[in-house]
Amino acid sequence: MPAEQGGDGEALAAALKLPPALGRVLLARGIAGAEAAKAFLRPLLSGLHPPSALADLDRAVDRILAAIERGETILVHGDYDVDGIAATALLARWIRRLGGRVEAFVPHRLRDGYDLGDAGITRALEVGARLLITADCGIVAVGAVARARDAGLDVVVTDHHTPGPELPPAWAVVNPNRADCAYPNPALCGAGVVFKLVQRLAAKRGIDFEDLLPDLDLVALATVADLVPLTGENRVLARYGLRALARTTKPGLRALLESSGVVESGAAPPSIEAGQVGFRVAPRVNALGRLDDAAVGLRLLLTDDAGEARRLAARAEEVNTARQDEDRRTLEEALRKLESTYEPERDFGLVVDGDGWHPGVIGIVASRLVERVHRPVVMVAVGDGVGRGSGRSVPGFDLHAALVACREHLGRFGGHRQAAGLDVRPEQVDAFREAFNQVAREHLGHLDLRPELRADAELHLGQADLSLAGILRHLGPHGIGNPRPVFAGRSLRVVGSPREVGSGHLKLTLEQDGITRPGIGFGLVARIPPDRLVGERVDALFQLTVNEYRGRRTAQLRLLDLRPTGVDAA
Tell whether 460 and 508 lie within a shared domain. Answer: yes
The answer to whether residue 27 is domain-embedded is: no
Please give the pLDDT value at position 2. 44
CB 21 within 8 A of CB 457: yes
83 is a domain residue? yes
Say yes or no: 537 and 437 in one domain. no
Query: At 363, which CATH number?
Result: 3.10.310.30
CA atoms within 13 A on the CB side of 426: 9
Asked if 414 and 162 touch (Cβ cutoff 8 Å), the reply is yes
Both 166 and 69 in one domain: the answer is yes
Check whether residue 502 and residue 537 sit in a common domain.
yes
| Rounded Cα distance, 303 and 280, in Å | 21
Do both 434 and 490 map to the same domain? Answer: no
The boundaries of the domain holding residue 554 are 456-564
What's at 330, amino acid-wise?
Answer: T
Which has the higher per-residue pLDDT, 57 or 568?
Answer: 57
Contacts of 322 (CB under 8 A, 6+ apart): 287, 291
Cα separations in angstroms, 177 against 56, 171, 238, 240: 12, 17, 20, 24
| Judgement on whether residues 467 and 437 belong to the same structural domain of the protein | no
Residue 507 in domain: yes
Residue 115 pLDDT grade (very low, low, confident, very high; cuts 50, 70, 90): very high
Residue 22: inside a domain, yes or no?
A: no
Please give the helix or strand (H or E) that residue 357 lies within, else none.
none
Does residue 17 form part of some domain? no
User: How many Å apart are CA 426 and CA 436, to the nearest integer?
Assistant: 15
| CB-CB contact of 487 with 21 (8 Å) | yes
Write out the E strands in 293-376: 350-355
- Mind listing the pLDDT tens digit for each residue in 309-368? 999 999 999 999 999 999 999 999 999 999 999 999 999 999 999 999 999 999 999 999
Q: 282 in a domain, yes or no? A: no
Give the chain's domain count. 3
Do 483 and 435 belong together in one domain?
A: no
Q: Do residues 427 and 349 both lie within one domain?
A: yes
Determine, yes or no, domain membership for 32: no
Higher pLDDT pick, 494 / 547: 494
CATH number of the domain bearing residue 210 = 3.90.1640.30
Asked whether the predicted pLDDT for residue 491 surpasses 90, the reply is yes
Q: How many CB atoms lie within 10 A of CB 436?
A: 26
SS (H, E, C) 255-304: HHHHHCCCCCCCCCCCCCCHHHHHHHHHHHHHHHHHHCCHHHHHHHHHCC
DSSP H or E run through 396: none
CA neighbor of 156 nearest in space, from 85, 301, 58: 58
Same domain, 203 and 172: yes
- Per-residue pLDDT at 569 exceeds 60: no
Domain termination site, one of 209, 236, 263:
236
Please indicate, yes or no, if residue 99 is contained in any of the structural domains.
Answer: yes
Q: Cα separation of 318 and 185, whole Å?
A: 37
pTM here? Answer: 0.90
Provide the CATH number for the domain around residue 486.
2.40.50.460
- Is 432 in the same domain as 467? no
**Considering 236, 260, 283, which residue would you say is the last residue of a domain?**
236
271 pLDDT band, cuts 50/70/90, is confident
Q: Which amino acid would we find at residue 326? A: E
Q: How far apart are the first and last CA of the chain?
A: 11
Q: What are 190-237's pLDDT values in tens digits?
A: 999 999 999 999 999 999 999 999 999 999 999 999 989 999 999 999
Mean pLDDT of 443-451: 85
Split at pLDDT 50, 70, 90, the class of 100 is very high
Instruction: Give the residue from 179, 213, 236 where a domain finishes.
Output: 236
Listed in sequence order, the DSSP H helices in 187-249 are 190-204, 216-225, 232-246
Same domain for 487 and 402? no
pLDDT in tens, 177-195: 999 999 999 999 999 999 9
